[in-house]
Amino acid sequence: MEPLLEFLTKFVAQLQSPTLAFLLGGILIAALGSRLTIPDSIYKFIVFLLLMKVGLKGGMAIGEADLAAMLLPALFAALMGCLIVLIGRYTLAKLPGIRTEDGIATAGLFGAVSGSTLAAGMVVLETSNITYEPWAPALYPFMDIPALVLAIVLASLYLKRKDGSGEKVKIWPIVKESLQGSALSALLLGIALGLFTNPDKVVDTFYEPLFRGLLSVLMLVMGIEAYARLKELRRVAHWFAVYAALMPIVHGLIAFGLGYIAHVTVGFSPGGVILLAVIAGSSSDISGPPTLRAGIPTANPSAYIGSSTSIGTPVAIAIGIPLYIGLAGIVF
């Protein structure tokens, strides 16, 4: 009984953290009819700065990391990206009233990673004084790219079988499109600069001081957007809402289990395990939508973007992050 009470106490405490409070605040003011808006160009610039900071720190850490210790978590991240897509392909995409390509696209978006959710997880961990490997955020592309590529390949194969076309699906253009997306480009550029240059001063004097403030603005925008997307979600099958509410937690818990295996095997830290669960429970908000729109043009954006933004992301941040932290307090 005592571990359960401790877990619930930590869970409620995390909901009061500034990062999660701004997300919930955005949802609240949108529900009250506020006309507050943040220009899209500012939103994209904030995302760029956050991902550059994550990439720079990750690249600097990879340069000093024991690559053997990083190998298994990276492998598990890639496995999770593919596993999430496959689970969605054979659950959501099979449900009545769901178009198969819509189900696959949704699974791809939930298999890919949200840079903002990753940033939120990092801030909450640091606020809670939970340490993690500095290279752990660099697990992002190991999960993101396989998920997007697999989703587009599965949808392409399905559609070609459906229309009787024998045309082969080319993998490399899909990979190239993913790598050229704005979010992954920023993250990979940051990793490269952190790995091969010495950006310590610019990180310490510019990126680090701005990180939490910019993240709070991003969370506010995402809260407003989440409420706005609810209208889009009402236009499609209710199964998307069920999937978006449940699967981020299911995905995160599976990743938590894999992270625990890495903890026992190679000494992956509890904070790293939590972060792996956080990115597995997230759904892409930047790189995924344009990649899937181009790769699966017949899929309905209201289905996969609406379910992700309006339900999936708030669940992943407001419920998932406190859940994994509380679970880690019991397990480790």
The tally of CA atoms less than 13 A away on the side-chain side of residue 2 is 0
Supply the pLDDT for residue 40.
Answer: 81
Q: What is the pLDDT of residue 63?
A: 78
pLDDT of residue 18: 65
Structure tokens at 87: 């689970």
Per-block mean pLDDT, blocks of 10 residues, the chain (332 long): 57 60 82 86 83 80 78 95 96 89 93 86 90 88 86 84 68 70 76 88 87 80 75 69 93 97 95 96 78 78 78 88 92 90
pLDDT at 84: 97
Residue 238 CA, chain-centre distance (Å), reads: 22
CA dist 158 and 209 (Å) reads 47
The span from the CA of 274 to the CA of 280, in Å, is 10
CATH number at residue 307: 1.20.1530
Residue 16's pLDDT is 60
List alpha helices for the chain, DSSP H.
2-15, 18-31, 40-64, 67-89, 100-111, 115-127, 140-163, 171-179, 182-196, 200-202, 208-233, 239-266, 270-281, 288-295, 301-307, 313-314, 321-331
The pairs formed by 70-75 with CB atoms below 8 angstroms and a separation of 24 or more are 70/133, 70/135, 71/266, 72/262, 72/265, 72/266, 72/268, 73/136, 73/139, 73/259, 73/262, 73/266, 73/268, 73/272, 73/276, 74/139, 74/142, 75/142
pLDDT value of position 262: 96
Q: Are 96 and 115 contacting, i.e. CB atoms less than 8 angstroms apart? A: no
pLDDT of res. 6: 56
How many structural domains does the chain have? 1
**Residue 31 to residues 24, 36, 86, 312, Cα–Cα distance (Å):** 11, 12, 35, 18
Expressed as residue numbers, the domain containing 172 is 2-331
